[in-house]
Amino acid sequence: MRIVLIGPPNVGKGTQAERLIKKYAIDHISTGDLLRKNVAEDTLLGQRAKDYMDKGELVPDDLIIDMVNDTLEHIDVEHGFLFDGYPRNPVQAEALNDFLLEKGLMLDKVIYLYADKDLLIRRAVGRRICPVCHTVYNIFGFPPKVEGICDRDGATLIQRPDDREETVRKRLEVFKEQTVPLVEYYEMAGLLLRLDGSGNPDEVFDVIVSELGEG
Ligand code: AP5
């Protein structure tokens, strides 16, 4: 199963990705997670990416494509993968096409999750993350047992710097301008599954699996 998961910020890509990679036993490549890891480790890439991320803008394509190609070298792409948050614009989609062409592989499906803007902003404002184990909570729907504390390891939960409402609105604009054209592109290619991400995580997961099949 070779899948791309695209959708606006906070639609639940990461939440569904965690379930889908278990279900289909495939690798998960989240460019957002890879970038945050680089920022946390203060690598050169992290230093160059941080400002763009904090402002809600896309990190330049050359940095992203190098990072992704490097990651792809270390996984069994023939077995399958799920991209979460990549590609995000036509240049990145071309880079992915070139990579797959070179390997003689094709994407199986591109899942586009959508939800309305108010819901996306509410999910962003409510999101809390464990800095140690990276478990994702939401104060409005999936809170930890003790406020502000991770159930798994007791760490103090944090908010992502780009989850401030103003930055989320900027990320939504960037999504509309740069990523929505990909939705049309993959639709024309006959790969797109357009699915509602506004239900609860189990409902959304069940719909995705019913569309993808058992694998
Ligand atoms: P990235 O990390 O990819 O952010 P994003 O696409 O904006 O998506 P999010 O991680 O914010 O949300 P999500 O859809 O995964 O939602 P989640 O499951 O966490 O990118 C961050 C930044 O990195 C970008 O702005 C950019 O600067 C840079 N970047 C990354 N990739 C790039 C690329 N390819 N090119 C250039 N730059 C790039 O859920 C959100 C919240 O809602 C959680 O609290 C969760 O618990 C809750 N929730 C989830 N699903 C449900 C549900 N069904 N019902 C109720 N609550 C739910």
SS3 118: helix
What pLDDT is recorded for position 73? 87
Percent of the chain with pLDDT strictly greater than 70: 100
Distance separating alpha carbons of residues 110 and 6, to the nearest angstrom: 7
Cβ neighbours, 10 Å, residue 37: 14
What pLDDT is recorded for position 141? 87
36, 122, 123, 171: the catalytic one is 171
- Per-residue pLDDT for 215 more than 80? no
- Per-residue pLDDT for 78 more than 90? no
What pLDDT is recorded for position 101? 93
31-40 vs 61-72: helix axis angle to the nearest 10? 100
2, 88, 122, 123: the catalytic one is 88
- Per-residue pLDDT for 80 more than 90? yes
Give the residue from 101, 88, 84, 112 showing the smallest Cα distance to 191: 112
**What mean pLDDT comes out for the span 24-29?**
95
2, 109, 127, 128: the catalytic one is 127
What pLDDT is recorded for position 214? 79
Atom 30 (ligand 1) nearest CA: 32
- Are 20 and 30 in contact, with CB atoms under 8 Å apart? no
Tokens 């104060």, residue located:
139
- Are 115 and 126 in contact, with CB atoms under 8 Å apart? no
Confidence of residue 99 (pLDDT cuts 50, 70, 90): very high
- Tens of pLDDT, residues 141-188: 899 999 999 999 999 999 999 999 999 999 999 999 999 999 999 999
Annotation says 171 is catalytic: yes
SS3 215: coil
**What mean pLDDT comes out for the span 65-78?**
91
Q: Residue 25: what residue type? A: A
- The closest-lying atom of ligand 1 relative to the alpha carbon of residue 52 is 27
Asked which of 72-76, 86-90, 181-185 is least confident by mean pLDDT, the reply is: 72-76
> Hey, what domains does the chain have and what are their CATH numbers?
2-116+167-212 (3.40.50.300)
How much is the mean pLDDT over the chain?
95
SS3 3: strand
**What mean pLDDT comes out for the span 126-149?**
94
Does residue 171 have its Cβ closer than 6 Å to ligand 1? Answer: yes
